Amino acid sequence: MIDAALLGTGGMMPLPDRFLTSLLLRYNGGLILIDCGECTQVTLKSLGWGIKNINTILITHYHGDHVAGLPGILLAIGNSGRKEELEIAGPEGLAEVYGGLRVIFPELPFPVKLRELKELSTEKTVSFKSGDLKINALKLDHRIICCGYSIELERKGKFDTEKAAANNVPMKIWGKLQKYDTFEYDGKIYTSDMVLGKPRKGLKLTYCTDTRPTAEMCDFAKHSDLFICEGMYGENEKLEKATEKKHMIFSEAAEIAKKAEVEELWLTHFSPALKDPKSFLENAVRIFPNTLIGETRKTKTLLFKE
Amino acid sequence: MIDAALLGTGGMMPLPDRFLTSLLLRYNGGLILIDCGECTQVTLKSLGWGIKNINTILITHYHGDHVAGLPGILLAIGNSGRKEELEIAGPEGLAEVYGGLRVIFPELPFPVKLRELKELSTEKTVSFKSGDLKINALKLDHRIICCGYSIELERKGKFDTEKAAANNVPMKIWGKLQKYDTFEYDGKIYTSDMVLGKPRKGLKLTYCTDTRPTAEMCDFAKHSDLFICEGMYGENEKLEKATEKKHMIFSEAAEIAKKAEVEELWLTHFSPALKDPKSFLENAVRIFPNTLIGETRKTKTLLFKE
């Protein structure tokens, strides 16, 4: 299972009653943080999932409201006693931004590995791993280079006794092949597909903020258990403004959720001028019924379907 | 009169119930901000004194908890519509720190002037002006170069009719010489000291955080109407820790307040481990009775004495 917690729902700037949009994922004891605007470390503390085990930080883009909290987060992780490497991934420019911000944290007690997603200058998506989780990045359409992320946990097929027998797999290593992709026994290499049925649907969470709708987003978010998407403005009348600022209105996010056939949509990254996002929820719900308004510390546990 | 508002009282890191130490001063419509750790812009908004009129930002030193909020503050000031120049002053290293942080705010709609207080590498203090206010910086004793600030508003002497008459100042320009230092009339230059008594006590506020006590601090804070001073630890037993970390305990701050003969002392910059600063107030009060525990959005108006 993967736990997801929204750490804030604002865009542009942190407000006394609304911190900036950011997401924390918890899987198997490890944490992945997506974006860290100013004050993100404060909600992280309120949430109480810890901070030391943040193994990966994914940055969508380098506007201050998505990255200005990075020095504070890294210093806080350092204070928590972390010694293990931490990976930071983000679109092109990561080394420059990280290098600039380092002026206020010249030393950390753990190594940092930067993964600059340069592939996105030529490719539409790029994938890499954070432990067992597969992370995919998609180039979005914002004022500066920006990417969305989807996080996937694969699920192997069911164990198939008949298949195992048909493939002459010794019973002694049936258990091993449910755990490992390959296993050597008695001088012969066996593979897990000799004992397992076809892979089952795993878990998928997709996170896209700071973009206009793009055709690729539908494929990228396809069949997500949870799709967290920006809705900078609630009103349909703000389409022109959203287009100009390279953001989205609620109904556009809902259209993508519908086309991508996701299970659930959370709207977030609200404009400071959008005081009561719930009053515009209907604009999304009439297109994609299972839409919820994001809230600070809103959590969800994604579970394998039986 | 000068209004002062403490924007937070924490040291090291912002906490859900305690933001980082920072001070806002308001005089004659303009604002001066001392330090801006992460989340300072949030309390600035809660306070409601505005943000556009911040003309000067004084940075004590370049630890993240005192400067990481600078990009957010500057972006917020930009969003407020400011076009006029803003001055940022701080000890040596300012240009490098500002240059580094700029990676996340490459453009601002107003010019920024940096005043790097290089004089502090050879001099103990340096002074400059922000409008009518005189700002003095003192080199403190911290792990990295750090300075305290005192802000002074001078007060001219009382108008003295006899003196004006004795100096043959035409009655027509008596008013002008109460406003301007010099005034030309009928081909002759008159000076304000020809009509005014000796300068009266003005207003003075001193702000020192992140330091061990130094002998110079007593002179620097001398006769302040308000002395805002760090008290990282409340317990007298934490003197050794304070010495090692280059911070102070409450009683040390109180000793300085007493020697400096200030009117009022506010303690701030509490360690995250110091949950209830008030429970140690007695350690300061028995040395300097008019000591108060700093609180977020604690304000005071400094007035000329009649």
In which residue are the tokens 């609200």 written? A270
Cβ-defined contact of A103 to B62 (cutoff 8 Å): yes
Mean pLDDT in chain B? 96
**What pLDDT sits at residue A33?**
98
- Is the per-residue pLDDT at B162 higher than 90? yes
**What pLDDT sits at residue A64?**
94
Which residues in chain A have their CB less than 8 angstroms from residue B16's CB?
Answer: 42-43, 45-46
Cβ-defined contact of A100 to B100 (cutoff 8 Å): yes
Task: Encode pLDDT of B207-225 as tens digits.
Answer: 999 999 999 999 999 999 9
Cβ-defined contact of B64 to A75 (cutoff 8 Å): yes
Task: Please tell me which residue in A17, A35, A65, A219 is annotated as part of the active site.
Answer: A65
Kindly report the nearest CA distance between residue A261 and chain B, in angstroms.
36
Planar angle of CA A37, A41, A42, nearest 5 degrees? 110
- For chain B, what is the radius of gyration of the CA atoms? 21
Could you tell me the mean pLDDT of each successive run of 10 residues in chain A, 306 residues long?
97 95 97 97 96 98 96 96 98 97 95 97 95 96 95 94 93 91 93 93 97 97 98 97 97 98 98 97 98 98 92
Judge contact between A56 and A36, C-beta under 8 A: no
Kindly report the nearest CA distance between residue A8 and chain B, in angstroms.
13
Chain B residue with minimal CA distance to A37? B72
Kindly report the nearest CA distance between residue A221 and chain B, in angstroms.
28
Helix axis angle for B94-101 and B70-79, nearest 10°, is: 70
**What pLDDT sits at residue A306?**
76
Helices (H) and strands (E) in chain A, counts: 10, 16
Domains and CATH numbers, chain A: 2-154+201-302 (3.60.15.10), 157-198 (no CATH)
In angstroms, the CA A205 to CA A203 distance is: 7
Residue positions of B annotated with a catalytic role: 65
Kindly report the nearest CA distance between residue A202 and chain B, in angstroms.
36
Smallest CA-to-CA distance from B31 within B65, B79, B82 is with: B82
Cβ-defined contact of B64 to A42 (cutoff 8 Å): no
The secondary structure element, H or E, covering residue A43 is helix A40-47
Chain B residue with minimal CA distance to A17? B42
- Is the per-residue pLDDT at B306 higher than 80? no
Task: Encode pLDDT of B224-246 as tens digits.
Answer: 999 999 999 999 999 999 999 99
Percent of chain A as helix, strand, coil, to the nearest 5: 30, 30, 40
pTM: 0.92
Among B46, B62, B72, beta carbon nearest to A104? B62
Among A39, A96, A102, beta carbon nearest to B42? A39
DSSP chain B: -EEEEEEE-BSSS-BTTBPBPEEEEEETTEEEEE---TTHHHHHHHHTS-STTEEEEE----SHHHHTTHHHHHHHHHHTT--S-EEEEEETTHHHHHHHHGGG----SS-EEEEEEGGGGT-SEEEEEETTEEEEEEE--SSS--EEEEEEEEEPPPB-HHHHHHTT--GGGHHHHHH-SEEEETTEEEEGGGTB-SPEEEEEEEEE-S----HHHHHHHTT-SEEEEE-SB--GGGHHHHHHHT--BHHHHHHHHHHTT-S-EEEE-B-TT---GGGGHHHHHTTSSSEEE--TT-EEEE----
Planar angle of CA A125, A130, A131, nearest 5 degrees? 140
Judge contact between A146 and A210, C-beta under 8 A: yes
Chain A residue with minimal CA distance to B66? A104
Chain A residue with minimal CA distance to B95? A103
In angstroms, the CA A16 to CA B152 distance is: 32
Helix axis angle for A40-47 and A70-79, nearest 10°, is: 40
Task: Encode pLDDT of B71-108 as tens digits.
Answer: 999 999 999 999 999 999 999 999 999 999 999 999 99
In angstroms, the CA A49 to CA A197 distance is: 35
Among B39, B68, B104, beta carbon nearest to A14? B39
Which residues in chain A have their CB less than 8 angstroms from residue B94's CB?
Answer: none
Sign of CA dihedral B206, B304, B36, B19: positive
Which residues in chain A have their CB less than 8 angstroms from residue B271's CB?
Answer: none
Residue type present at position B238 = K
A58 strand-pairing partners: A34, A89
